[in-house]
Structure 1
Amino acid sequence: MSFSVLAVCLFVVASTVVLAAPPSVTPEVCESRENEVYYKCQLEACYTTCQHLKTPPPCPSIAAGCFQPACICKGGFLRNAEGKCVPEDQCH
């Protein structure tokens, strides 16, 4: 029983340290990129790149938990091989 409590406590401490780390992505970075927006807590896990249209990833549309802050393509846009957000119909 005490091992389980210790494991939970260590997980909480580790999660707090990770979440308290300064984000490498800021709203200003995202706003400077065309067709991108800033998300402090990114929940979307799938269909974010052009490649996902050809080979869909085996994951739900909403992932459990909160990922690191990120620049996400605006609605109707996907990230191409060059890392730019393009309209879905421009994915090759």
Structure 2
Amino acid sequence: MRCLFVVVLAALVTISLAKKDCGENEEYACKLNCDKRCENLDSLCLDIGNNCKCFCVKGYARDSHGVCVPEDQCGAESTTESSATSSTSGNTESDSNTEVGDTSTLKPGFPEGIFGDAA
């Protein structure tokens, strides 16, 4: 019993120390292997799982530099880069097939329709 207490205590100390290492606008949490990023704002991320680390707080997402920024500022950085790229690349089939509710970013193993109809 004493050994179990020591293990639990060590785990709690480790978790509390890890919480202090999170950056600005981040919080320590255990989620599925996902982190909200500017390039995947609409992706589904459940607040359960065993991937314990620093995630952006609600309303924030990681930009291309790994910094948690307000979600409404996500387009500011990428707009300049993407407009230069899109003017030379033209319209591709993948650009025109994007729909709201697209679940193609879900990892394999999620049954289709498990989260309800997007339409």
Q: TM-score range by the shorter chain?
A: 0.5 to 0.7
Of 15, 40, 51 in structure 2, the residue corresponding to residue 52 of structure 1 is 40
Q: Does 1:38 align with 2:21?
A: no
Residue 45 of structure 1 and its aligned partner are, at CA, apart by: 3.4
Equivalent AA in structure 1 for residue 27 of structure 2:
V
What is the aligned-residue identity percentage? 35
Aligned residue-pair number: 62
Unaligned runs of 5+ in 2: 1-10, 76-119
Equivalent AA in structure 2 for residue 42 of structure 1:
K
Q: Does 1:28 align with 2:16?
A: no
From the two aligned structures, give the one with the greater strand fraction.
1
Residue 44 of structure 1 and its aligned partner are, at CA, apart by: 7.1
The two structures have a TM-score, normalised by structure 1, of 0.53
The two structures have a TM-score, normalised by structure 2, of 0.42
Which structure 1 residue ranges, 4+ long, deviate > 4 Å from structure 2? none
- Across the aligned residues of Structure 1 and Structure 2, the Cα RMSD in angstroms comes to 2.9
Of 38, 41, 60 in structure 2, the residue corresponding to residue 77 of structure 1 is 60
Higher relative contact order (CA 8 A, sep 6+): 1
In 2, Cα distance between the equivalents of 1:28 and 1:90?
A: 26
Unaligned runs of 5+ in 1: 1-19
